[in-house]
Structure 1
């Protein structure tokens, strides 16, 4: 692939044109930092389009297959890992209904790669004058066209009953905390996925937003959460636990932030998951290098305030990058503690298969670094069977109030429902 660096007059305009151009391919993805000031960010945005080679697992050992694929292809490699890969890692199963039918894992070597950093784009492609061709794209404003109704897989009354049953498991000592989710869905949704993503990203911009097209399957994500990133020998994980609404004005906003930071339940949730993430990173880390860089810091996004911690470690040069992810997957913030028992109970209490939700979308670099988000605050769409869904959840502890947990789920659902006119 040839590499060309070009200066951008308008980053937002170029991103819009490049994303529209990319979606003309059967496979494409877009990662957007929305220019959040993340000290670990490598790129402002990334667009990959077209397939040179692809990896879709054909056996039960998907991580081994992925490792072979990366070793055979020294290239920038985007892709995703579904939550249900957990079944290969532990003695678990996923028997709940699935209407989205994503493969458990998918990665590809793109024909065209655009790496945007500040106001410069590096274009790696064998297509001559690709920068000029993308700049010549005429942005098309399409309508979302959603006229259906999103239904919840769990009624409000059933949700409250389930939360109280989960609290009983906690009282008995089965678990300390569990992430419990519910799905909203439409069975006859004919939408324009690109329009849905653009509107979601405008309404709820986030540092780990992503759009992924895998032929007839789409991920439209405004995720605020990083699962894991590797830069050289350093590994970074940033679990989120703790959510509060934004205020109507600055005074109320600051008060809501202060209340979240002083909330004993939210603090306990975050610290429990930090301990779990520390344990996960220890499996691949050089002994003594796992550290908590940031504990329970409040970050503000368009829709909500979030409590985020940052856990880091160091790995040796000969540590497999795939094993680093495998040792920590799925993200502890989306399971609970202890992790395996929590995942058993998640399967018991939730009504639908998670699939790509609470999995991870991201990329590996040529240097075998990586960066992956957690797939939350995301619309997921199967265009062939017109099934559209999103899931939201919260951490259940013994101190949980079922009514308040339900309200937290609705707060997290707000941006997706607003995009869909619900």
Structure 2
């Protein structure tokens, strides 16, 4: 395959739309979009990868198979996803919630075509890059629907959520756990949507640095994730857990006050500290001794709907630990479990009624050319089984002893608000 560069003639947003509509002909699509928010660890503005030359679809012994797949394909860009429920093979856990989506537990592929956008250039790797560039440029964007008729339902009623909250908090009061991330599902049946159109609507409403669109067969992930789970750069591991959420204000003055209140909130700081400690402990298992450090604590990043409290923990990877070994030592993201981690996951399995599936898992890529990777946390995301016409959105929040059931319920709705807006829907 060859790599060629071309001038970007359309706006970036229009090029993204054309490229994704063009890619719909393939069974495997991976699209990552930083929305211009790439930080010092980011490697590209956006990248589209399509058409599997080789693929891994796994439901058992996932990490063993993934290790073998990466070793078999050196010098490749390999995108994919990992289900939250891979926890069951890492620890002695089980998922009892019903699986409505039927995603594979993991899927990775070596693409035949990659399209990268950087500044005002398009870089295409393919057998015939010019042909691909012309095909994308000539793609017509279909007119968007004025509304999308999807009616979301809540898996739990308000009273059922509060009961689950109280059950969770009782475990904290007994000393079983300190914090747990309790999640609930919103869903739609008989949902006939255009996943690409919904992605563009969601990205317009809620642009985030770890936005992604993924397709494998009739399964789609439409994500507006703001959170990095884990990256590797030049032998350094980087994790950036989010714990702490507040609404945006009506104006800049109110925004400043909300941020100031977050930084003074004992609840928000305590939640973030617990997860930072958990991530430090997880990374220690893959780190050279003495290199784990919290380089930034309690930073506030502001997005369209919410302010988020984010901390950054880094370490140098022990060269005796493989990249997949790092995932075994850290997965799933501590921000989506609680602390202590195993006990929190056990309690979530007992209380939550639906399998999380890809939600709370991770989407990203391994770059076996330069021995790097970057994966998000799948939050603020729609999961769609087009064959079953089943559409799912999970949201959750950290439950501590100081938490309020009503406040946590409202936080779940706040986190879901961008997706609801993209779907033009209200809860039924």
TM-score of Structure 1 vs Structure 2, range by shorter chain: over 0.9
2:285 is aligned with 1:269: no
Select 1:172's aligned residue among 160, 174, 193. 174
| CA-atom RMSD in angstroms | 1.2
Please say which of residues 289-298 and 308-317 is displaced more in the overlay. Answer: 308-317
Deviations 1:324-367 (A, max 9, x none): 11210000000000000000000111110000000000001122
Q: Tell me if structure 2 keeps the 8 A contact 1:145–1:192.
A: no
CA distance in 2, matches of 1:325, 1:117: 29
CA distance in 2, matches of 1:330, 1:138: 40
CA distance in 2, matches of 1:190, 1:19: 18
- Residue 414 of structure 2 is matched in structure 1 by 411
Superposition pairs of residues 54-73 of structure 1, within 5 angstroms? 54-57=55-58, 60-73=60-73
Q: State the shift of 1:299 in Å.
A: 0.4
Q: State the shift of 1:136 in Å.
A: 1.7
Q: Tell me if structure 1 keeps the 8 A contact 2:4–2:129.
A: no
Q: State the shift of 1:368 in Å.
A: 2.4
CA distance in 2, matches of 1:153, 1:147: 19
- Residue 220 of structure 2 is matched in structure 1 by 218
CA distance in 1, matches of 2:7, 2:278: 43
2:90 is aligned with 1:96: no
CA distance in 1, matches of 2:103, 2:161: 26
Select 2:379's aligned residue among 376, 381, 384. 376
CA distance in 2, matches of 1:67, 1:4: 31
Deviations 1:172-194 (A, max 9, x none): 11000000000000111111111
Q: Tell me if structure 1 keeps the 8 A contact 2:3–2:129.
A: no
- Residue 123 of structure 1 is matched in structure 2 by 124
- Residue 367 of structure 1 is matched in structure 2 by 370
Q: State the shift of 1:287 in Å.
A: 0.6
2:419 is aligned with 1:393: no
Please say which of residues 249-258 and 310-319 is displaced more in the overlay. Answer: 310-319
CA distance in 1, matches of 2:301, 2:242: 10
CA distance in 2, matches of 1:328, 1:319: 12
What secondary structure sits across from 1:242 in the alignment? Answer: strand
Select 2:287's aligned residue among 285, 288, 291. 285
CA distance in 1, matches of 2:148, 2:95: 30
Select 1:235's aligned residue among 234, 237, 249. 237
2:35 is aligned with 1:34: yes
Q: Tell me if structure 2 keeps the 8 A contact 1:244–1:305.
A: yes
Deviations 1:308-339 (A, max 9, x none): 00000101445311111121000000000000
TM-score, length basis structure 2: 0.96
- Residue 184 of structure 1 is matched in structure 2 by 186
Q: Tell me if structure 2 keeps the 8 A contact 1:46–1:114.
A: yes
Structure 2: stretches of 5+ with no match in the other structure: none
Q: Tell me if structure 2 keeps the 8 A contact 1:145–1:191.
A: no
CA distance in 1, matches of 2:334, 2:138: 44
Please say which of residues 82-91 and 364-373 is displaced more in the overlay. Answer: 364-373
Q: State the shift of 1:144 in Å.
A: 7.7
Q: Tell me if structure 2 keeps the 8 A contact 1:143–1:192.
A: no
CA distance in 1, matches of 2:324, 2:114: 22
CA distance in 1, matches of 2:399, 2:129: 54
CA distance in 1, matches of 2:371, 2:25: 29
Deviations 1:209-268 (A, max 9, x none): 000011100000000000000012111000000000001111011111111111100110
Deviations 1:11-53 (A, max 9, x none): 2222221121112211101100000142211110010011100
What secondary structure sits across from 1:205 in the alignment? Answer: coil
Distance 1:394 1:195, change over 3 A: same
Structure 1: stretches of 5+ with no match in the other structure: none
- Residue 201 of structure 2 is matched in structure 1 by 199
Deviations 1:136-186 (A, max 9, x none): 212222328642421111110111121112111101110000000000001
2:9 is aligned with 1:4: no
- Residue 17 of structure 2 is matched in structure 1 by 16
CA distance in 2, matches of 1:14, 1:393: 34
Distance 1:144 1:194, change over 3 A: farther
Please say which of residues 114-123 and 142-151 is displaced more in the overlay. Answer: 142-151
